[in-house]
A and B are shown apart, each in its own frame.
Chain A
Amino acid sequence: MQLKRKASTSIGASLAAATAGLLGQSPGRAIAQELAPWEYDTAILLYSESDNRVRDVSLNLDARKEVREEAFLNLKLAIDTLTGASPSGAAPANTVQTFTTPSGGSTFDIAAGEQVLDPSFLDTRTALAANYDFPLGRFTRFDLGLSLSDEYDYSHSGVNMKLDRDFDNRNTTFTFGLALANDSIDPVGGAPIGLAPMTATGGNKQGDQSKDVTDILLGVTQVLNRHSLVQFNVSLSESDGYQTDPYKILSVVDPVTGNPVIAPPLNGLPYLYRYENRPDTRDKQSIYGLYKRDIGGNVFDVSYRYMTDDWDVDSHTIDLHYRWNLESGSYLQPHLRFYSQTAAGFYHSVLFNGTPLPDFASADYRLSEFDGLTLGIKFGRETRRGEMSGRLEIYQQTGSASPGSQVGSLQSFDLNPGLEAIIAQFSYKFGG
């Protein structure tokens, strides 16, 4: 059980008790129930990719209140504003390329030799979550929650629960978690028919889509000794419904020259691009382990996650932090994260003309084979009412194109250029 500094509150309580004693009040509830007051955690985050790609500004507010003894209400609000351009999945070419915007209302050109970025990426997302966590007997805690989010073309609603049970003088804790979500996808212009050609007027589209996601988590936390503990989790996730990204396409190129292929007649665009198509289910499993250790007042932690799914993606994540607690309540925390994933079975950097169309295909770099590296530093300082902190990180992805895709003229282009992003966050915790 953690103790937060609340000097003024306890002096108040002590005075109240002392006064009650002096007044000789009769037995009963003379001491006030001093439940923990509101505690707030606010943060503003900037995520910015190089080359005029995606930029996200995120505002976050978390509030926590003890509403009944040992039972807490947690409320979260997050507002994200997304701007910038995102890779559409089409490959660069030695010629000007023309694409249709998602609404189908206009087209835009990409210069020869340039990476294809879809510029129409303005969106605001609002997310709300509420959780109530409370004890069930001496050794069990239960957490029940609701989550909602909304943006122009996507909305989410979900419920979640978590059960924690302590054993062995609270040295061992078993955790069971379950989350159910229903997401509605209402793409601008409609969801495209999978693998259908992109047309100048935004044809080949159908209506709204949805998907259901079920997440299960089983975990055990074990205290090793006075200075360290470990956590081990197994997670399963099943997603049923529309998994495709409605705005992503694939270039169709000649298998020898690598050049774009002329679009069919009446298509309206010079070259042929096909909308991507993903399976309508996705099963993921992951195992996760965390080791956290106090070293002379400083804290080191390392975690590892292995994920595998039925899209053939396998990933490894290693995350390390070292929190160096300085005097006067400040700290410095460097951070290192290594990430590596294999490509989804249906990831193709380009499609080849003349080859039979696969059932599923995507050129989304997020399903490609790549490595990610994050390097960051965080500085925090206690303030009179709480804590102030800032962190700065760089995140770099280096990816590979799908095997055999760099044919002909494509050899002079990077079909999976990766990305570089800066993450900057400022936080202020107060109250309590």
Chain B
Amino acid sequence: MLKRILPAAAALAALALPSAPGAEIPAALDPVDGKVIWVDFWASWCGPCRRSFPWMNQMLDRYGDQGLQIIGVNVDKDRGLADEFLAATPARFDLRFDPAGALAERFGVEAMPNSFLLDAEGNVIAEHYGFRYEDADEYEAAIVAALGAANRGR
């Protein structure tokens, strides 16, 4: 059921780009160096996204020093709307901007929000559709398990 639309290494390379080609931000790569990476596709018009941000901030607070990296990929076509959202619901995690949806398409996003838990090689360990408070413990457990595996070494 988990798609492999994007080969693992290519996923990491794509995420390293701060925004899709053609954006005004210079192409210097942002490091994708987490032991475990939570990639979350969000938009200003997505209701559950507003609920997921405080939770993602909390996850970063709890597990950032254990190697968790969170990358929120915004798919708004109007950057102003994304900025408005962020002003009201700040993110302490890394952000990427994908207005043309190229990254969303390559990851095979099927819902909004859609999150992917990746290991350090870029393999998709888990995929979650939507955000619900009721499932937050489950999401957290997946992160903890992935970090455990990563930190036990290879």
Contacts and interface: CB of A to CB of B under 8 A. Distances in A.
**Majority DSSP secondary structure for residues of A touching B:** loop
A145 B61 CA distance: 43
A10 B133 contact: no
Interface stretch (B6-14, B47-55, B66-74): B47-55
Given A1-B46, A11-B88, A31 B58 contact: yes
Nearest to B44: A3
Contacts of B48: 1
Contacts of A2: 45, 47
A1 B47 contact: yes
B90 interface: yes
**Which 6 residue pairs of A and B lie closest in terms of their CB atoms, listed nearest first?**
A21-B61, A17-B54, A1-B47, A10-B89, A13-B54, A7-B88
Interface string B119-138: 00000000001101110110
A308 B96 CA distance: 55
Contacts of B137: 29
Interface string A1-21: 111101100110110111011
A136 interface: no
B152 interface: no
Contact of A33 (B50, B58, B133): B133
Interface size classification for chain B: 20 to 34
Given A21-B57, A21-B58, A34 B51 contact: yes
Contacts of A17: 54-55, 57-58, 61
Contact of A10 (B50, B55, B134): B50
A169 interface: yes
B17 interface: no
Nearest to A32: B54
A24 to B, nearest CB: 9
A34 B47 CA distance: 12
**Majority DSSP secondary structure for residues of B touching A:** helix
Given A31-B133, A31-B136, 4 more contacts: A6-B50, A14-B53, A21-B62, A70-B132
A30 interface: yes
Interface string B56-92: 0110011000000000000000000000000011100
A31 B55 contact: yes
Nearest to B144: A27
B133 A16 contact: no
Nearest to A13: B54
Nearest to B61: A21
A29 B140 CA distance: 11
Interface of B: 44-51, 53-55, 57-58, 61-62, 88-90, 110-112, 129-130, 132-134, 136-137, 140
Q: Which of A2, A17, A20, A70 has the most CB of B within 10 A?
A: A17
Contact of B133 (A4, A14, A69): A69
B45 A69 contact: no
Interface string A68-90: 01100000000000000000000
A3 B58 contact: no
Contacts of B112: 1
A427 B59 CA distance: 43
Contacts of A169: 110-111
Contacts of B133: 31, 33, 69
Nearest to B54: A17
A384 interface: no
A371 B9 CA distance: 67
Interface string A349-364: 0000000000000000
Nearest to B50: A10
Interface in A26-54: 27, 29-31, 33-34
Nearest to A21: B61
Contacts of A14: 53-54, 57, 89-90
Nearest to A135: B132
A138 B129 contact: yes
Nearest to A11: B88
Contacts of A138: 129-130
27 contacts: A1-B46, A1-B47, A2-B45, A2-B47, A3-B45, A3-B49, A10-B50, A11-B88, A13-B51, A13-B54, A13-B89, A14-B89, A14-B90, A16-B54, A17-B58, A17-B61, A18-B57, A21-B61, A27-B62, A27-B140, A29-B136, A30-B58, A31-B54, A31-B58, A31-B133, A31-B136, A169-B110
